[in-house]
Amino acid sequence: MVEKELFAIFMDGVFIKNFILIQFLGLCPFMGVTKDVKSAAGISAAVIFVMTLASFVTYLVYTYVLVPTGMEFLDVISFIVVIASLVQLVEFVVRKNIPSLYRSLGIYLPLITTNCAVLGVVLLSVNSTYNFAQTVVFGASAGIGFMIVMLLMSAIRERSAILNVPSAIKGLPLGFFIATLLSLAFVNYFWVIPI
Amino acid sequence: MDPLSEYIRGITRDNPIFGLVLGLCPTLAVTTSVENAIGMSAATAFVLVCSNVFISSLRKQIPATVRLPMFIIIIATFVSIVKMVMQAYFPPMYAALGVFIPLIVVNCIIIGRAEAYASRNNVFYSFIDGLGISTGFLLVLVLIGGIRELFGTGQIVTFGNTLFTMPIDPSITTMILPPGAFLTIGILMAIVNYQRAKKRARGG
């Protein structure tokens, strides 16, 4: 029973409630960092990592600090502080211990603090009153869904860069049109499957 | 600098969506109807004007090295106020906007204006800048919300009044689903780019 629920949450996070195409969270990296596959993969890996970790830590903060002291109204402020310091901490640790990973992910880590997908995933988990395991699974699956869409988008944009389109459509408008088609596919494909 | 042109600049050249291309997430997520668009822009406007004024009045006290964390804390405070007020007095609107009210904290428009404008200009101009950018944001959100609601449902209903009804009901449900948002902003952005290019070609 528990496993099935976790699986449903996982599918929810990856496809049905896909963060970029269905919920419109994290559009800045979606439009800004999808010019080539390599950097899209880099930022997505960093997002998966930070989302999972942030879900884990904010769950502890919310359940063991904010709820017992009756300060749930401080959730937004405390979560953003937790995420910002977490990102900073991860940056220190990675730079010190895994320099090779830092070289590939390093420049994307600071961007993640103000990525609304990370704050979104922890707020949605709190709003859905998920338990500990559900929160972590939801965080990880949202990150994986983010990565799938980022890779799809960057692969398409890499190829569409050589298209001969009117100059007014070049760049962002073309990106939005590609996003329309991707989103259409996601909506039609996954909303008809009852889970 | 005269206040009026500073105000207009927020709507035209520095328009948050078409000029600066900031704050796309709420722009696309909440524009399923004109009503939601107005609610979201009102909440964002309150936070933007308050944080601009507050940050501008503290700009000489905030040390440069810790300014971003300070900005985020100040913004998060105003967002918490908006969140609680909306939860208490406008529960249906709060339910419709959902997680995007607390997410004003990470809206790049607000932190962008704090960094680019409020931390360098005096309180009065920061206030004007906040109003101008908010107005630009409101106009774009209402435009996108209007287009999506009109084609998606065939009419525009705002706060219980039917403002406009299409003679033939198109009801392209896709327009109020996520793909409609991407399509609408893509088309609008292409039109804006086209107009800008034409203006530049004329030597503007």
Q: Are A18 and A145 in contact (CB under 8 A)?
A: yes
In a domain, B122, yes or no: yes
Domain that holds residue A61: 7-189
In a domain, A62, yes or no: yes
pLDDT at A194: 43
In a domain, A80, yes or no: yes
pLDDT at B22: 82
Cα B18 to Cα A164: distance, rounded to the nearest angstrom: 23
In a domain, B138, yes or no: yes
Model confidence pLDDT, tens digit, residues A78-118 = 998 888 888 888 888 888 887 877 777 666 777 777 678 88
Which residues on A lie below 8 Å from B76 (Cβ)?
76-77, 80
Of chain A, the percentage scoring pLDDT greater than 90 comes to 29
SS3 A156: helix
- Contact across the interface for B80 and A184, Cβ inside 8 Å: no
* B137: CB partners within 8 A, 6+ apart: B16, B17, B23, B27, B41, B44, B45, B109
Mutate to test the interface with B, among A20, A50, A58, A80 (most CBs of B within 10 A): A80
- Binned at pLDDT 50, 70 and 90, residue B111 comes out as confident
Per-residue pLDDT for A193 more than 70?
Answer: no
Domain count, chain B: 1
In a domain, B119, yes or no: yes
| Alpha-carbon gap: B194 to the closest alpha carbon of chain A (Å) | 5
pLDDT at B199: 87
Which residues on A lie below 8 Å from B198 (Cβ)?
none
In a domain, A91, yes or no: yes
Per-residue pLDDT for A58 more than 50?
Answer: yes
Domain that holds residue B95: 3-146
In a domain, B183, yes or no: no
In a domain, A2, yes or no: no
Closest to B100 measured CA to CA, from A53, A83, A124: A124
Q: Quick one: average pLDDT of A157-161?
A: 89
Of chain B, the percentage scoring pLDDT greater than 70 comes to 100
In a domain, A131, yes or no: yes
In a domain, A150, yes or no: yes
In a domain, B113, yes or no: yes
Domain count, chain A: 1
In a domain, A1, yes or no: no
Interface confidence (ipTM) of the complex: 0.87
Per-residue pLDDT for B55 more than 60?
Answer: yes
Element (H, E) at B155: strand B155-158
In a domain, A156, yes or no: yes
Which residues on B lie below 8 Å from A125 (Cβ)?
none
Predicted model pTM = 0.88
Return the minimum-mean-pLDDT range out of A47-61, B27-41, B68-82, B167-181.
Answer: B167-181
Per-residue pLDDT for B97 more than 50?
Answer: yes
Cβ density class B181-196: b for 16+ within 10 Å, e for less: bbbbbbbbbbebbeee
pLDDT at B74: 93
